[in-house]
Amino acid sequence: MLLENEFEVAASPDKVWAFFQDVPALAPCLPGAAITQVVDDDNYKGEVTSKVGPVTLKFNGTAEIQERNAATRTIVIAAAGGEAKGKGQAEMKITAILQPGGKGTRVKVKQDIVMSGAIAQYGRGMVGDIMTVMMKSFANAVEANIQAKERGQGPVAVKSSVGGIGVAISAAKLALKRVFGRLLGLRAWYS
């Protein structure tokens, strides 16, 4: 499934691009993500923990930077992993493009996700809504960490995992907006 998100960071594209090159600093900005081993400049091992309602999933896997293009400020990362309890596998190819915009930098993110096993039971809508909530948290953490670095401070702590009732409620709100949007669209079409 292909998901697209967009967010803004209140920092110049050059500063955001430089921060995106520091994968061990960047990864923890995504709630629940952690680098467990730096293999080399383009290959990493890590984990992602996600909790939605009563369900907790922990993935162990790898990430490889497949492309870094400073001229277009594009980075492509391929990640793959398995759920620790054997509930499934996930692969994701992430393409992030940084451009000048609004507050400073507009980041366009495409995520091509393939899931198998028990985790594949979660529908596109739910996965998309959770990824939208995660991207908002990610954007806030990137901005906070860039600002802290400029002030000479250490990394800003972010949530250690995605989840709980907050993510479930936020994802449910997005799902309801999508459903009501469709209903209003149908109503307008029939009018």
At which residue do the structure tokens 């383009």 appear?
42
**Domain 2-190: CATH architecture, name and number where available:** 2-Layer Sandwich (3.30)
When pLDDT is averaged across residues 104-133 and rounded to a whole number, the result is 79
CA 67, CA 121: separation in Å to the nearest integer? 31
pLDDT tens-digit map of 64-117: 999 999 999 999 999 999 988 887 888 999 999 999 998 899 999 999 988 887
Is the confidence at residue 13, as pLDDT, over 60? yes
CA 148, CA 131: separation in Å to the nearest integer? 25
pTM for the full predicted model: 0.79
pLDDT (0 to 100) of residue 186 = 52
Dihedral angle sign, alpha carbons of residues 16, 20, 22, 26: positive
